[in-house]
Amino acid sequence: MTPVGHAAFSYVIGRAAARGVPISVAGMVLGGVLPDIDFAVIWAPQFNEWHRVVTHNVFFCGLAAAVAGVVARARGAGASTVWPLVLGVFVGGLGHLLTDSTMDTNASNGIGVAWLWPLTREAYSPFNLMGLLGRPDNTAGWNDLGAAALAVLAGLVWELPWWLGAAWLWRGRERPPAG
């Protein structure tokens, strides 16, 4: 899933969850895109070994949520703001792992996500929606950017509804009064 897809998915789920749970939608979106921070080192020879491992696990999601909480608290936020933010970042991160586990065109290290790294590097994928499109994986890897781009384009089939839902919700969101 692309970063826009992860953000849209997190926004839609966050808006739905916020109706009944004190959760930060902004935290959900942050947590939803944060695991792909590992793309900052895509140039590294070890990238294919790291992607969907080091930042794609429950421990990273927990660490990211804790750091968000510490930063918010240091900036003077109260508990009524900090805890919904922490929950949002954590749940948003888990949503990222879920979508990467089920909408996989990973050009790096095969199907799935290492949910429990560093305890195990085993990648988990309960099912792969991309297989329904006849593109179960991108075995060419990042060395064949054309094949990687086609895999991403195929994934847009599953992302587009989230984009549209997020745009619809964003357009209809409550805004503070002008003036």
Checking if the pLDDT of 155 tops 60, the result is yes
Count Cβ atoms within 10 A of the Cβ of residue 73 and give its class: 0-12 exposed, 13-18 middle, 19 or more buried. Answer: middle
pLDDT the model gives residue 65: 98
Q: For the chain, first and last CA: distance in Å? A: 40
Q: Which two tokens stand for residue 170?
A: 């964003």
Name the more confident of 149 and 32.
32
**pLDDT tens per residue, range 54-107:** 999 999 999 999 999 999 999 999 999 999 999 999 999 999 999 988 876 555
- Rounded distance, CA 25 to CA 27, Å? 5
Checking if the pLDDT of 132 tops 70, the result is no
At residue 24, the 3 state secondary structure works out as: coil
Contacts of 83 (CB under 8 A, 6+ apart): 22, 69
- H or E stretch including 162? helix 145-171
- Rounded distance, CA 39 to CA 67, Å? 20
- H or E stretch including 29? helix 25-33
pLDDT band at residue 37 under the 50/70/90 scheme: very high
Contacts of 17 (CB under 8 A, 6+ apart): 23, 28, 91
CB–CB of 111/137 below 8 Å? yes
Please give the model's pTM, rounded to 2 decimal places.
Answer: 0.84
The percentage of residues in the chain with a pLDDT greater than 90, rounded to a whole number, is 54
